[in-house]
Amino acid sequence: MTVTAENADVAGTVTAETGAANITATNDLSIKEGSKVSGGSVGLKAGENL
């Protein structure tokens, strides 16, 4: 599963049961308080904003 947006505001649950969840944004990517991101392989690269 891949979530891509220029101005991403993810207010929910992003889940990858198999494989990796890739979330990218050209600007700030925000995951609101109370939400969760889970999966077998979830990571943030340096320089990306969470």
Is 50 inside any structural domain?
no
Is 46 inside any structural domain?
no
Is 16 inside any structural domain?
yes
Domain that holds residue 10: 2-41
> Binning pLDDT at 50, 70 and 90, where does residue 34 land?
confident
Is 6 inside any structural domain?
yes
Is 49 inside any structural domain?
no
Is 48 inside any structural domain?
no
Is 10 inside any structural domain?
yes
Threshold 0.85, pTM exceeds: no
The arithmetic mean of pLDDT across residues 31-45, rounded, is 66
Phi, then psi, of 43 in degrees rounded to 5: -150, 165
Is 17 inside any structural domain?
yes
